[in-house]
Amino acid sequence: MISFFGFGQSADIDIVLDGQESRKTAEIKTEDGKKERHYLYYDGETVSGKVNVTLKKAGSKLEHQGVKIEFIGQIELYYDRGNHHEFTSLVKELARPWNCHDLFGVFTGDLTYSTTYPFEFLQVEKPYESYTGANVRLRYFLRVTIVKRLSDTVKEQDIIVHTLSQYPEMNNSIKMEVGIEDCLHIEFEYNKSKYHLKDVIVGKIYFLLVRIKIKHMEIQIIKRESTGTGPNTYNENETIAKYEIMDGAPVKGESIPIRLFLSGYESTPTMRDINKKFSVRYYLNLVLVDEEERRYFKQQEITIFRRADKGRKGAMGYLQHKSNNIPPGMTPTPQTVEATGADTPQE
């Protein structure tokens, strides 16, 4: 709740979402690394509720030049903070000024008692997942503005959006042979190339030739956030998981199993070319370290998606799938337009 003052006038603004008592919430990181929890929505869901404007003092009045609420989806690049790139912007007028004007010829209105304004953004498009990264933030929020003569009064409330996908029809395994000529030759295999957020990566490493003294081997999951375009592209790499799969020198013919649970790590779905502003990709990085501390590695990109619950109910969203949001080979999930989150999908 927020209070504001001006010319002796004061009031509280409160945004109450429909069905928020039963709606699921989700966490998202803030720019400073902390976590916030907000109500969770999906693409195609209606966002509705009411705005309460409560006068702080009985008998007072609040002069305004209109009251409006906006539903906004925007991308903020940290190196370009002056520009917020809005990809969704909807406006509902809650109150108009009266047909009278002040000393400056501007039409104004007065609130003389506490007022509740209902609002509804029907089956609103939410094409991308909420995201906070090292250099970029994608957020959805409601903004209430009371327009005043000197300065507007604004209250914002964030929501979190998750993008869902079904299991891909094609999910080929990854199998590659890599090595150093006459020194090292290994074959690695992962059971598939697309994983949901609570999946398990299963694979194996097979040593075909070993002529260097390997001390240990590990597998990493690397998140690569790319912002900008062309020569101005900037990549930020983050190792979100590291798992030692071998300690000691292998021999020719030895096979090392891999079993890595993704649910224990904080990750988001793969995001490719989001609004032509940024991408988030994931890689499996196999690292070998020899006794002289030299490192040998091989990266392989994987796709991570947010799995939809097969039992999820609700009406079909009227919006069509955006091809640059769902990773290649994935199937978008029909979204609910119900106001509650009783049938919230699993990861």
Per-residue pLDDT tens for 182-216?
788 889 899 999 999 999 999 999 989 888 888 88
- The pTM of the full predicted model, rounded to 2 decimals, is 0.81
pLDDT, tens only, 127-152: 999 999 999 999 999 999 888 777 77
CA 320 to chain CA centroid, Å, is: 19
Decide: helix, strand or coil at residue 224.
Answer: strand
Please determine, for residue 88, whether its predicted confidence score (pLDDT) is greater than 80: yes
pLDDT of residue 48: 97
Has residue 170 got a pLDDT over 70? yes
3 state SS for 82-104? CCEEEEEEEEEEEECCCCEECCC
pLDDT digits (tens, 9 = 90+) for 27-44: 998 888 789 999 999 999
Instruction: Report the pLDDT value the prediction gives residue 326, as an integer from 0 to 100.
Output: 57
pLDDT for the residue 318? 33
Which pLDDT belongs to residue 102? 46
> 48-79 burial, b for 16+ CB within 10 Å, e for fewer?
ebbbbbbbeeeeebbbbbbbbbbbbbbbbbee
Tokens of 347: 């990861």
The single residue listed with the structure tokens 């109450």 is: 16
Q: Distances in Å between the alpha carbon of 324 and those of 180, 266, 274, 329, 336?
A: 37, 23, 7, 12, 21
Domains of the chain, earliest start first: 2-162 (2.60.40.640), 168-305 (2.60.40.640)
Query: Are the CB atoms for 124 and 88 separated by under 8 Å?
Result: yes
DSSP 151: -
Give per-residue burial for 161-172: e unless 16+ CB within 10 Å, then b.
Answer: bbbbbbebeeee
In the prediction, which pLDDT does 245 show?
85
